[in-house]
Each structure stands twice: as structure tokens, then as C-alpha cells.
């Protein structure tokens, strides 16, 4: 407040200095309004790109001017060649809500489909601070050493508001982000979980077409987002931490039933014994739950994302899971079911939108809602009546279109 007072008093002495807006900070010189602030080095997501680790590389112009529009064929060709710049732009296209972009993204995805599906999709969840990002970095680096290419995506219901975890991941996944065999994309912003999930699913397909053969999807364990991630991955890993006697918290929330494996992280130093105790407790509890997948028993392990101990076990468990479920046909079955469920979810979303956007429904709905809320009309009858009105309008609209 003091600075605005100061500026006001400055205004009273005309001619002493050029006229400045009232909100200029004290440190702002006379050129304040036209000073160019240098940007933050890094890619679209604020993470350093492998080709931008030195200031010299960062200063180099990208091969394609970012303003130039790409055709669908150019996107497809670039992605299949593994061009990171085009991959980044393709994901931006997928994340866009603009109608023209959605259409172009769908044409692109259609062409990419034959090149997708050849990865192992792994979801990783756990309470905030469980060590998901640290673990993903350790696992990602380990997988790269094994000759894999790793894409890391995130679904973070809070990130669209705070962008908090992105800041954290920027520092935590630095070593992984620097590797050309990795690609890290934070959670897309964009409102409802359904919208974010659509974008993440499609981003996953684009990454597969670009040759990434392991996809890691991080989600913070705060409820619905776990179910969403479970519905798009082959293998779901729950990361727990020992302590506070709440090892069984996941059971209450139902998240343990979604897991194909549970890892107790931070099993290092003084925490090792507690982690082992938590492992045994959870292992016992799991015997009372029915496994979600035939011939697969969810087991509990310990690991340390910090020391790297047990990281190789994660990959061994995943490989075993893939081997067993593939031989039983369950792996493919799950993917087919997921694709169908996704289509139906989109269909439901679309139909709801058409219904709610119809001008007649928009006009009538508040009145009907009022009647239902006051107990004058039964909810079932009201819903039925609204659908009847909508259907009659559809027929009317159709005959008008035909004429």
C-alpha cells in the first residue's frame, strides 16, 4: 500500500518525472512499461528439454517456427519419426478445447491408431508425499538403463488450480527430464476430471506412436482420480508409506482393491523396520480381498525411491503380471473393455451436453426443478417428461432439417 501512496504523491508534482501508472513498483524505472522480461528456460511445461540444458542450446531456434500451422500429415509424420518438438505440439493440440483443434486432433489420432498400444501402461497412485514422483524418476531411469523409452504423464485434480505439483516435479524429476529417452508431461489443465482424463488418454496414445514403450501415469490419491487412472492403465501400483498406524487406510477408501501391487516406499534408514511391519500387516489384510484379475494375487513389497532399493522389483512384478495376463488373454480383454468404457463415457457426456444445451430444455428445466424440489412432481415423472419433450423436439428438428 505504501508504494501506491508514494505514486500518488509523485503524481502531484507534474514534470518531475514522466507520467507513470499508479501501480508501478518502486523498483520500476521510467522504462517500466516497455521493459522486456526474460522468459523461463524450458519447454512448454517449464521442464528443461534435453536440447535446452545449456543456455547456448536454449538460444537456438527450433526447426519449425512455432507459429506455423502443421497439417495432420505433418503431425503424424513427425510423431512417428519421434520428433520431440512435433510431439509436444501434438499434445498441445490434443489438450486444446477449441473445436477446430479437437477435429484436427481426432484426424491425427485416427492415423496414429495403428501405431499405438505397444506399451505397458502403468498407473501410480499414493497419498501426497508418498514419494510417487521420486519413485517415477528412479523407475524411469532404471527402465532407460534397460533400453526402454519412458513417457511420464500426470492426472492431478488440483493442478489446474494451483499448478503446485508441477513445480515440485520440475525439481524432483530433473535427471529423468534430461534424458532423451524420456518425455514428461504434467497434468493438462482444463477443469473437470473427465476432460483431463480424455486428454491424458489421448496423450498416452500419441506417446505410444512416438515410440515410448512404458507409460507411467502419476495421480495423487485423493479419490476419484485413482479410479480414472485405473481405467486407462494395464497395471496399477499403489504406493504407501508406513506410519501413524493408518497402513490400512487404503482399504477403507477402496483403493487397495484397485491395486495390482502395493509398494511401501521410504523403506530406508530408521524407517526400514516400520516399512517391513506395514508390509506384513497389509499382506495379511489382502488375503481377505478378492483379486480383481484372474490368477493374479496382489502382493505387498517394500522399496526406497531414494536409495533405489526395490525399484527393480517393481519392474519384475510388472513383467510377471504382463506375462501371466497375456497368456490368459486377460491383458487384451482389459484393454478392450477400457476402450469400450471410454467410448461409452464419451457418448454419455456428449448426449448430456446435447440435452442440456437444447434451448427448450434450458427454458423448461428451472421450472421443472422448482416443482421437484417443492415435492409437487415426483423426480421420476419429471425426468420422464423432460425426455419426452426432448425427443419430440428432436423429431421436430429432424423434420425441419429434412425439409
Ligand X SMILES: Nc1nc2c(ncn2[C@@H]2O[C@H](COP(=O)(O)OP(=O)(O)OP(=O)(O)O)[C@@H](O)[C@H]2O)c(=O)[nH]1
Question: Which residues of the shown chain bind ligand X in the complex (CB under 6 A)?
Answer: 126, 128-134, 165, 168, 172, 220, 265-266, 268, 304-306
Stretch of residues binding Mg ion (CB under 5 A), selected from 79-87, 126-134, 269-277, 368-376: 126-134
Q: Which of residues 220 and 282 has its CB atom nearest to ligand X in the complex?
A: 220
Q: Which of residues 78 and 140 has its CB atom nearest to Mg ion in the complex?
A: 140
347 burial via Cβ count (<10 Å: 0-12, 13-18, 19+): exposed
Taking the CB of residue 222, how many other CB atoms lie within 10 A of it? 14
In whole angstroms, give the CA distance from residue 110 to residue 94. 12
Residue 26 near residue 10 (C-beta atoms within 8 A)? no
Nearest residue to Mg ion, by Cβ distance, number only: 133
Residue 82 near residue 210 (C-beta atoms within 8 A)? yes
Stretch of residues binding Mg ion (CB under 5 A), selected from 62-70, 125-133, 272-280, 309-317: 125-133
Q: Which of residues 90 and 122 has its CB atom nearest to Mg ion in the complex?
A: 122
Nearest to 187 by CA among 155, 218, 162: 155
Strand pairing category for 150-155 and 235-241: unpaired
129 binds, among ligand X, Mg ion, none (CB under 5 to 8 A by kind): ligand X
Query: How many residues contact Mg ion, by CB under 5 A?
Result: 3
In Å, what is the CA distance from 188 to each residue of 92, 166, 285?
9, 11, 36
Least Cβ distance, residue 174 to ligand X (angstroms): 12
130 binds, among Mg ion, ligand X, none (CB under 5 to 8 A by kind): ligand X
Cell numbers linked to 206: 500419441
Which one of residues 104, 133, 265, 325 is an interface residue with Mg ion (CB under 5 A)? 133
Q: Which of residues 100 and 270 has its CB atom nearest to ligand X in the complex?
A: 270
266 binds, among ligand X, Mg ion, none (CB under 5 to 8 A by kind): ligand X
265 binds, among Mg ion, ligand X, none (CB under 5 to 8 A by kind): ligand X
- Dihedral pair phi/psi, residue 362, rounded to 5°: -60, -35
Residue 269 near residue 276 (C-beta atoms within 8 A)? no
- Dihedral pair phi/psi, residue 304, rounded to 5°: -135, 115
Using the rule CB under 5 A, is 159 a contact of Mg ion? no
Least Cβ distance, residue 154 to Mg ion (angstroms): 7
Least Cβ distance, residue 212 to ligand X (angstroms): 20
- Residues within the interface to Mg ion (CB under 5 A): 132-133, 165
Amino acid at each position: 500500500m505504501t508504494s501506491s501512496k508514494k505514486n500518488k504523491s509523485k503524481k502531484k508534482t507534474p514534470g518531475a518525472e514522466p507520467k507513470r501508472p499508479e501501480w508501478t513498483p518502486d523498483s520500476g524505472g521510467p522504462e517500466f512499461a516497455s521493459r522486456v522480461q526474460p522468459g523461463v528456460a524450458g519447454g512448454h511445461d517449464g521442464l528443461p528439454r534435453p536440447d535446452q540444458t545449456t543456455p547456448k542450446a536454449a538460444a537456438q531456434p527450433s526447426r519449425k517456427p512455432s507459429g506455423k500451422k502443421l497439417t495432420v500429415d505433418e503431425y503424424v509424420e513427425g510423431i512417428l519419426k519421434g520428433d520431440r518438438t512435433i510431439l509436444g505440439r501434438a499434445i498441445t493440440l490434443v489438450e486444446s478445447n477449441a473445436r477446430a483443434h479437437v477435429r484436427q486432433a481426432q484426424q491425427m489420432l485416427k492415423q496414429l491408431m495403428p501405431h499405438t498400444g505397444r506399451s505397458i501402461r502403468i498407473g501410480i497412485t499414493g497419498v501426497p508425499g508418498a514419494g510417487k514422483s521420486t519413485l517415477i524418476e528412479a523407475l524411469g531411469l532404471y527402465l532407460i538403463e534397460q533400453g526402454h523409452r519412458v513417457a511420464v504423464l500426470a492426472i492431478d485434480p488440483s493442478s489446474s488450480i494451483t499448478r503446485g505439483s508441477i513445480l515440485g516435479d520440475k525439481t524432483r524429476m530433473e535427471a529423468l527430464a534430461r534424458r532423451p529417452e524420456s518425455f514428461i508431461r504434467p497434468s493438462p489443465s482444463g477443469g473437470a476430471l473427465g476432460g483431463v482424463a480424455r486428454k491424458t488418454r489421448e496423450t498416452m496414445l500419441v506417446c505410444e506412436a512416438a515410440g515410448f514403450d512404458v507409460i507411467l501415469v502419476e495421480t495423487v490419491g485423493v479419490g476419484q482420480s485413482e479410479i480414472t487412472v485405473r481405467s486407462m492403465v494395464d497395471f496399477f501400483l499403489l504406493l504407501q508409506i508406513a506410519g501413524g498406524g493408518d497402513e490400512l487406510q487404503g482399504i477403507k477408501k477402496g483403493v487397495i482393491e484397485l491395486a495390482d501391487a502395493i509398494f511401501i516406499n521410504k523403506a530406508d534408514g530408521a524407517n526400514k523396520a516400520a516399512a517391513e511391519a506395514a508390509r506384513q500387516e497389509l499382506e495379511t489384510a489382502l488375503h481377505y480381498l478378492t483379486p480383481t484379475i484372474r490368477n493374479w494375487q496382489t502382493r505387498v513389497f517394500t522399496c526406497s525411491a531414494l536409495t533405489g532399493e526395490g525399484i527393480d522389483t517393481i519392474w519384475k512384478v510388472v513383467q510377471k503380471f504382463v506375462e501371466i495376463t497375456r497368456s490368459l488373454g486377460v491383458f487384451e480383454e482389459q484393454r478392450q473393455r477400457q476402450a469400450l468404457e471410454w467410448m461409452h463415457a464419451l457418448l454419455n457426456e456428449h448426449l448430456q451436453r446435447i440435452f442440456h444445451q437444447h434451448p427448450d430444455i434450458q427454458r423448461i428445466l428451472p421450472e421443472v426443478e422448482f416443482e421437484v424440489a417443492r415435492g409437487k412432481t415426483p423426480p421420476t415423472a419429471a425426468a420422464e417428461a423432460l425426455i419426452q419433450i426432448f425427443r419430440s423436439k428432436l423429431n421436430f428438428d429432424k423434420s425441419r432439417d429434412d425439409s
